[in-house]
Each structure stands twice: as C-alpha cells, then as structure tokens.
Chains A and B, each alone.
Chain A
Amino acid sequence: MVTKSSVFEMIGPVMIGPSSSHTAGVVRIARAAIRVLGKKPEKAVITFYNSFARTYEGHGSDKAVIGGLLDFKTDDNRIKNSFEHAKKEKLKYAFKSVGNASTLHPNTLKINLTAGKDKVEILGESLGGGIVNIAEINGFTANFSVSLHTLIITADDVRGSIAFIANVLAQDDCNIATMSVSRKGRNDLACQVIEMDSGLKPLTLKYLESLKWVDEIIYIPDIDL
C-alpha cells in the first residue's frame, strides 16, 4: 500500500536549498553517520559517487555533508557556512569523487569517520525528497532509513541469536518494522539492523550490551534526523 502524503510534504519540508536530494538527504546521512560513530568525529573523508561525483560541489552537497557531521539539522541556516564552523570545531575533512560505480545508487556517498581509535564507514543513498537509505555500515549490509527507531547490533554469529534478540525486544513491547542480518563469513561477526515502531528502554539496551556474544550496540532513536 502506498502511504498517503501529508499536507506538510506539499507545503514543506522547510529545508536548506537547493535540492532535497543534494542537501536535506545528504545532511541526514551525515547525521546518521555521527550517531553510528557515537561521538564527535575528528576526521572525515567523504566520497561522492556517480551522479553525485560531478554535481556535489555545484549543489552544495559538500557543505551539506559537513553541516550534517556537525549535527546541523536539514533546515539549519548554518549549513551554508559549514566549512567555517568545521574549522572552529576542529573537524578535518577531505572529498573524493568516483564515477561509474555501477553497483551503487546514482546518488551515493561514503563517509569515513575517525575519532581517536574509533572508525566507521557508512554508505548512504539519497533517494529524493530528503529520504535516505543507509545501505552499509562498516561493510555490513544495513538498509535502514533513519526515520524509525533503529538498533544496530554487531555480535558473534551464534545460533539462535536472532530469535533471542527478537524476543528481548518483544518483552519491551517493541514492534519490529524491518530487520536485516548480514555477516562476513560463517561463525564470523554478524550485523543485525532492526527498525522499530517504538523506542527501547535504557534497561533493555543495557541488557543487550551485557550479553557475552554481543560486540557492540548502537541505538538511534527516532529523533527526526
């Protein structure tokens, strides 16, 4: 079923120009990236692919992505001057362009962030109208839209782990909207990305974190990125 649009998609969204896929979408991907990193990034390398590779500068997607990494919202007037703000915040950054990545969506960007020893790599797609898909996290297939509550669990690929986690979430009255699991090899680390209609209690997150076979938990509540 196609969901019906809102009045505020006709008169809205309020956003920074020039285009929802080149600015708003890019800001949202960057804001998702810093949440996956879990702290302020010190260094960022952004690779623009395909259609983005040629047009990112003309459309201001470079300023948009830096604005997003500084956690500016999609309607924040500071995006236009995000490079200056980045200097103040001591965020170092570099851009790259790669064309012809035929396996990737036309409007794709990769964000590599570093903070101390921590590193993340995010592959995001800007689908138009400010809607995004986070396609990959650290090489794992992810596919989430940052429009719901999202839980990202990296864990040993142990038997029954998926059912177990689903059960824990059910105890917290959580309805799972989408779930994807990807792993790098048999018995290797697996990454589960779960989108939920409602948020999780801190206690539930603590419990999941405490499990021996769980490597890392990232929780991104629905905060209107």
Chain B
Amino acid sequence: MSFLFNDFSSWKKYCEEKQLNLHEVVLEYEVKQKGKSPQEIWDGLAAAYQVMKEAIHTGLNDDMTSRSGMVNNGAKKVYQNKLTVLSPEFQQLIARALAAKEVNSCMGRIVAAPTAGASGILPGTLYTLQEIHQLDDKKISEGLLVGAGIALVIEEKASLAGAVGGCQAETGSAAAMASGAIVYCLGGNVDQVFNAVAITIQCMLGLVCDPVAGLVEVPCIVRNASAAAIANSSAQIALSNVSAVIPVDECVEAMGEIGQSMEDKYKETALGGLATTATGQQIAKKVLIQDIEILPDQPDESS
C-alpha cells in the first residue's frame, strides 16, 4: 500500500478528509516519506523550474545539432517561422517543448520529468502557461507538485519507462502531468484536474517506443511537441466540464494493461516501428558503431 494515496480516488479522498489542496497532499507525502522539510521541497521545485527555463532558452539560442545529424535546430526554425498556423502562443508552446527536448538530445542540462525522453513537455507547457496567464513562480511550483503526484500514481499503477510500457508511459505520462498541472494552476477543482489527466491518457494510449537507431531523437522530439499540445487540448476540455467518461484510475489501468501486452520490439529496443523502416535502418547503420569485437556466443568457464 502506498503512503497517503496510491491512486487518484484515494488522493481525492485524502484531500477531502483533511481539507487539503491537491498539491499539499503531495508535499506532505514528500515530507513524511523522504524526511525533507517543506522549504527544501519548495527550493528543489524552484531549482527544477529554473533548469527547465534555461533549457528552453538554450534550445532556442544555442546551436542544437546532434552527433547523428537527426537534430538540427528544429525548435529555432519553428520559433522564427513567420507563418503561424494557429496562434503565436501555440507556435511558442511547440517551439519551447521542442527546444528543451533538443537540449536533452544534444547533451545539455535538463530535468527528467518524468524521464529524460519526455523532458520538453513540462517546460514547454508550464512556461507558456505562466506567460499567458501571468502566474507567479509559487503557483508553477504547486503545479509541479500536482504533476509529481500524478506521476507517482502512474508509476505505481502502470509505468513511466518506455522500456516497460512504451512511449505512452514516457511522453504520455508527461502529458498527463502537464495537463493536470495546467488545470490546477488555472483554478480547476480536483475533479477537473483528474478529468484532464484521464482525457490526456486516453489521447496517448498505445503509443509505442520505437526510437531510430536507439537514440532519443526521432520520434521523441516531435512527440514532446505533440504531447504538449494534447496536454493543452485536454485541459481546455476538462475545464469546460466535459467528462472523460472512463474515470482516471481506470484509464491508468488501461495504460498498464496495454503496456504489458505490448511486444518487446516496441519497448525501446529499436526493433520495430520507425526504427526498422528502411530509412531508420540506414541511419542506424551510419550512427551505430560497427567496429565491434564479437565474443563467441557461449563463453565457457575455461576460456
């Protein structure tokens, strides 16, 4: 049994019983479970958010090319494009999510949230949210706590690792965290926050992990942008009280079930999907080291 809450309904129940906000329960969890002081936790969250903002800045300003050549300053191109598809805000959201993730691919400093492969989603969504709605940093830190609580539940009931649950577990979970945090920061109630999580999971279910050449670049980077967009569409839906119909805990269960029955070739092994397309294989051949000393298959004790 988990501590304080182990699923969304017990988290809600604990909030009601103790008259606490969603984020306060997560704070209490960390204080009691990890023996940290609230101040340490707030400082840690502020520091993490600072790194997220720096990653966006780096991705939009420095040269972002990866050794494989698959990353080539994509975020900057989106940011500077004069042709705006939807709105300048949407364009910035996408550029920022790409930027932070490109920094990750190019060996820069990022916050794994919840994993390194999904490290562009919370920076892109929260920074854009803060700017549009003029939120203070404390509010964003609260949103991060809510996001962490969402991830804690998903980790317990499904998985956060691409190698275990496919990409739905990585970018899907990050989108769910972001969506819940957005709704929370805009004053949504507990049901609305959890509904946003449910809707987001429904949108991300089944996504496989099929990185080209095994590198965290293609399709990971563009998926950070799409996940950031889905986090926002779900938040908009949830804040308008449109129900996900399937309750959030059941959505997480579905995610776990899908992850379990997903074939291994779609779990970070680069043995399926985009990784094994003709072009994917060509790139792998070029990028991966071919000059390898191969040991005999079954080394026996005497050798």
Contact = CB atoms under 8 A, between A and B. Distances in A.
A7 B148 contact: yes
B88 interface: no
Contact of A100 (B30, B68, B295): B295
Interface stretch (A74-82, A182-190, A202-210): A74-82
Chain A interface bracket (under 10, 10 to 19, 20 to 34, 35 or more) = 35 or more
Contacts of A12: 44, 48, 111-113
B107 A18 contact: yes
A8 B116 CA distance: 13
Interface stretch (A52-60, A165-173, A192-200): A52-60
A191 B173 CA distance: 44
A28 interface: no
B44 A8 contact: yes
Contact of A99 (B44, B106, B295): B295
B116 A58 contact: no
B109 interface: yes
Interface in B255-303: 287-299
A177 to B, nearest CB: 17
A10 B297 contact: no
A58 B67 contact: yes
A139 interface: no
B48 A16 contact: no
A102 B298 contact: yes
Nearest to B122: A11
Given A10-B155, A58-B215, A15 B299 contact: no
B67 A60 contact: yes
B41 A7 contact: yes
Given A58-B214, A102-B299, A11 B111 contact: yes
Nearest to A17: B104
B145 interface: yes
Interface string B140-170: 0000110110011001000011010000000
A88 B296 CA distance: 39
B17 to A, nearest CB: 20
B147 A11 contact: yes
Nearest to B293: A98
A66 to B, nearest CB: 12
Contacts of B229: none
Contact of B289 (A5, A57, A103): A57
Nearest to B174: A10
A10 B152 contact: yes
B45 interface: yes
B216 A101 contact: no
B108 A80 contact: yes
Interface in A12-67: 12-20, 23, 51, 53-60, 63
B202 interface: no
Nearest to B49: A11
A58 B68 contact: yes
A56 B107 contact: no
Contacts of B29: 7
Contact of B163 (A14, A97, A128): A128
Interface of B: 2-3, 26, 29-30, 33-34, 41, 44-45, 47-48, 51, 67-68, 103-117, 119, 122, 144-145, 147-148, 151-152, 155, 160-161, 163, 177, 213-217, 287-299
19 contacts: A7-B41, A10-B148, A10-B177, A13-B111, A15-B112, A17-B105, A18-B215, A57-B67, A58-B67, A58-B214, A59-B216, A60-B107, A63-B107, A77-B108, A97-B291, A98-B294, A99-B292, A100-B295, A128-B163
Given A9-B114, A99-B293, 13 more contacts: A7-B45, A7-B152, A10-B113, A11-B114, A14-B47, A14-B109, A15-B116, A17-B103, A18-B106, A19-B216, A80-B107, A98-B295, A128-B161
